[in-house]
Structure formats: structure tokens, C-alpha cells
Amino acid sequence: MKNINYINTVRSFTKSIRQKNILVNLLYGVCFFFILGFTPEDTIRIFLIGDSTMANKPIVDNPEHGWGQMFPDFFNEGVQIFNHAKNGRSTKNFISQGRWNVVFNQLKPGDYVFIQFGHNDAKKDDTLRFALPRPDYKNNLKKFIREARQKQAIPVLLTSITRRDFDKDGRLKATHGEYPEVMKEVAMEENVPLIDMFEKTKNIISQLGDEESKQFYLAGVKQNEFRHWNGKKDDTHFTRVGAIKMASLVAEGIRELKLPLADKLIKQQFPDLIGRGKVVGLDYALNDDRRYKKDSSRIFRHYAWEDSSESGFAHLGNIIDRLGADLDTLQQLPTESFLNRLSIFIVVNPAKHKSDRHSNEYVEAVEKINSWVKKGGILILMDNDGGKSDCTFFTSLAKNFGIEFIRNDFKKKKTSETIAGENLHQHKIFNGVNQLIATNVSTLRISEQYESILENNGKLVMASVNVGEGLVLAISNSWLLNKYTALHQLYSGNGNIKAAKNLFTWLLTDSKLPLNK
């Protein structure tokens, strides 16, 4: 058994960083870091600036990935990556739109700035983006270098990645014109480390040939592999596998340059994609907690993959995505065809749920989920806010597997207090984890045979139940939300991010492939 200590100040800290008063924020921050023994020197920071080949992409039902999106998995703990790359950006409009100023104002001594532009600088028909190789592109690169060094940051140049464009004889065509050579000139003139991604990718894509190289680009995505993919032929942007390959070449370049950053790289050449070919679904059908956008449309604001606020699952989604699994959402009550696409299905007890439907609809939905679990599906039932929600479907679904979430009495406690167990069991979820942060933990009552995973003051708060070929995992609090997993880089003792990765590594490894992807 491992002892776990729980912090009661997390919410007050996260609330403080949203306040406008700088002095208040500073005092909270200093106190927080003092209490936790955190020092900025513990972490190396990397800022990425570039175009769509580097940028983060939406992770739901989407094959496209930028290499910067997968870059974090090439590092051990102690590295923070801030990806400021955006689709359609050149050196010119990255500066003119104020994006460079945003990065510049954050830079500190010892930070790295990885700079990769060229794709969009070459667009002559777009005056907002086009930058002549000489002098415009060259001068813009020198501006990034000069100003990064003003902040005692370390600039690193990366030439553009080749497009996958073969001629009729199967030879890779030259792309990007003078831009890669101009960047090399700048690297020589300014004595800046350079990773020649153009040369690296040109060699690899040429060796693989037209057909085999498709796996790295969106041109290789199969029809109907993703529900909403438009199937466009794209030889510039990457699949997840392609993004990982490109990120691995950047890591290779870091080692070749013998940058101090190389000490933080993982030992293996590629991270493990144990979730490849698997799909994790998240229920949106019951959740009615939305906010209005400026155009009057409504979007989910709680328990959603897209939600990067405290109550969303954006950080969890990124963890799962980088393990190789695809993400999807359930917008209506589940159908057999939808469930058969999934390996794992997450249902959260929503704080605000849709009006109850006819009971027979719930019965049918529960039966379909039950049948899917028996075939080998993994169902995660996650309570929220200490069991305060009274969603009929969630309650019925849990009871179908002999699980009941017992509401706790918070009248004598502030709901912002952190409440969790006294011990971590020796479960694979908690390998390398000393403590978790959770709020408003309800307790479990299970009538079926179960495996205890976590207890709180002697009461069961996390457990699994085997059902046929599948598994039901009951979690009595929302410790996987952004407000807990997002703190892992600020708070050295926060095990939520590690536990989340362990959890889905375990489940994706043990899960059956989708029955009908």
C-alpha cells in the first residue's frame, strides 16, 4: 500500500490564476510553489512556432495530426511544450498577426524556440502570407532568432517537411523552392542549430516510394475509417503515424546536434502506440450542459473532448490520442452499430442532463450497452460532484451491473475541498503515482463480485466488475477532468496525469479491437 496525501488548496489556486489582479496571482503562485517545493528550474520549456504541419489538430474523429502534437511523447518528465504553430501561417503573418509577440513575451532564459516555416511563405497569390526567400523570409527568421536571444532563449531552425509528390516515373519531386536553402544560410550566418527536416523527410519518402509513403499522409486514410472524414487527397498533412514519424526525426536531430535537451528524450525511437486501431467513445447524449457561442450556437462546456476549461476532458483526450487510439462521441442514445466501433465507452453522470425520455428508451439503451460489454467492451462509469446528479439513465445503467453511487453529505464541508482515499492499492493504474487530487468523492456499493482499486476512509471509491468478456470500471469522482490533469506540470506531486495515462494504457492494452470500426 502506498500512502497518498491530498491537497485542499488546489481549487483556490486554480481560481486565483483566473483573477485579473496580478499581485494576487503572484502571491498565490509563490505560495503554491513554496508549499509544493516547485522551482522553475525543474522544467525545460520548448516553444514551437510554425505552420499546419507542426500545429495541434482537433482530436475527435479526425485522422489529421501535426508533428508538434505528438512531440511531447518523445520526452521524459520535466519538459513542457507550448505549441503555437497554426494552420496557414508563414513567417510574415505569424509576425503581423501578433503571434510572435505572444511567444516573445513568455520567453525566459533557457527556453527553446523551434522555428519551422516555408510552406506558406511560398504562396505568391496570397499577399498576406507570401514572403520572398530573400530578403523577406530570411529577415523574418533573423528577427525570431535575434529576439529569442534577447530573452536568452535558444532558437532552433527546422527546414520544411517535404510534400509527398511523385512524378510518373516514381521519383519524388522537389518542393519548397529556395526556402530550405535560405534557412540553412541563416543557420550558418547566425550560428543557430538546424535540423534539416526537408532532407531527412525527402530521403525517407523517396526510399518508401509512392504507395508505402501514403501511410504518413492524409492521402493514405482509408474511406470510412473515420465517420466524418471528407476523404480529400492530401500529400502535405499527416496521419497520427506520420506525425509521430516526423516528430521522431526532430528527436533524432536533437540527438545529432547534441543539444542539452537530448538528455530529456525517451530512450526508444518511437513511443508505444498501444491504442492503435482502437476507439474511445464519450457520451454526449445525456449531457445538456452547454454554453452559447457568439453566433448563438450551443457547444458542450462540461465533460467534452473539445472542452479545455476546468470541467472538460481535453487533456485526457490528448493522453488517449497520443497512446494511438481514436476518439469519438455519442450524440444520441447508443445504437448497436455505434457501440461496435468502440473499444472503450465513457459515461459521466452529468451535473445538468437532458430531460428524461420514456423509460422504455432507457431500458433498450441499457440492454444494448450490456450486450456490448459482454462481447468485450469496456465501460467507464464516472460519477460527478459527489453523487448530487439524479440522471435516471446513469443510475439505471450502473444498477444494471450491480453498481450504486452513494451520495455524500457535504453540508458540513465546502464542496471545493479535496476528498480522497487513505491508501493507493498496488494496482497498475498507480504505478509511479504517490497521490491523486479529487473533489467531492462519492462512494460505491457493489452487489456483484468486484476488484477494489481505490478506497477513501475505508469506503470504496473505485472498482472494476467483470461482465462476460468485458469490464465495467466505476469511478466515484471526476479526477480525470482538466482541472486536475492540467496541474501536473505545475505541481510535482500531482499523480493524476500519470494515473490517467496508466489507466488507459491498461484498458487499451486489454481491450478487444472494435467489433465494427
Transcribe 190-217 into DSSP letters: HT--EE-HHHHHHHHHHHHHHHHGGGGB
Q: Give per-residue burial for 434-461: e unless 16+ CB within 10 Å, then b.
A: ebbbbbbbbbbebeeebeebbbbeebbb
Assigned architecture for domain 44-264: 3-Layer(aba) Sandwich (3.40)
Residue 299, pLDDT score:
60
pLDDT computed for residue 416 by the predictor: 38
For 61, the 3-state DSSP assignment is coil
Residue 385 confidence (pLDDT): 64
Phi, psi of 508 (to 5 degrees): -70, -35
- The burial class, CB within 10 Å (0-12 / 13-18 / 19+), for 484 is buried
Residue-level pLDDT at 361: 78
Q: In which residue ranges of the chain is CATH 3.40.50.880 found?
A: 279-508
**What integer pLDDT is reported at residue 31 of this predicted model?**
33
Full-model pTM: 0.81
Using alpha carbons, list the distances in angstroms from residue 502 to 106, 135, 159, 231, 506.
32, 50, 35, 34, 6
DSSP state of 343: S
Q: Name the DSSP class of 262.
A: G
Q: What's the confidence (pLDDT) of residue 29?
A: 35
Per-residue pLDDT at 33: 34
CA terminus-to-terminus distance, the chain: 40
Q: Please choose, from the candidates 137, 229, 225, 227, the residue with its C-alpha nearest in 3D space to the C-alpha of residue 176.
A: 137
d(CA 339, CA 323) in angstroms, rounded, equals: 21
Task: Name the segment(s) of the chain with CATH classification 3.40.50.1110.
Answer: 44-264
* Cα dist from 289 to 285, 350, 397, whole Å: 11, 8, 20
| Domain spanning 279-508: CATH superfamily | Class I glutamine amidotransferase (GATase) domain (3.40.50.880)
Nearest to 114 by CA among 50, 53, 190, 55: 50
Query: Quick one: pLDDT at residue 152?
Result: 98
pLDDT in tens, the chain (517 residues): 333 333 333 333 334 433 433 333 333 333 333 333 343 457 899 999 999 999 999 988 889 999 999 999 999 888 999 999 999 999 999 999 999 999 999 999 999 999 999 999 999 999 999 999 999 999 999 999 999 999 999 999 999 999 999 999 999 998 999 999 999 999 999 999 999 999 999 999 999 999 999 999 999 888 777 777 777 779 999 999 999 999 999 999 999 999 999 999 998 777 778 999 899 999 988 766 655 555 555 565 578 898 888 888 999 999 999 999 999 998 888 899 899 999 999 999 877 655 555 567 788 999 999 999 999 999 999 988 655 556 788 889 999 999 999 876 544 444 434 444 445 667 899 888 877 877 777 889 999 999 999 887 788 889 999 999 999 999 988 789 888 887 544 444 568 888 999 999 999 999 986 855 5
> How many CB atoms sit inside 10 A of residue 82's CB?
15
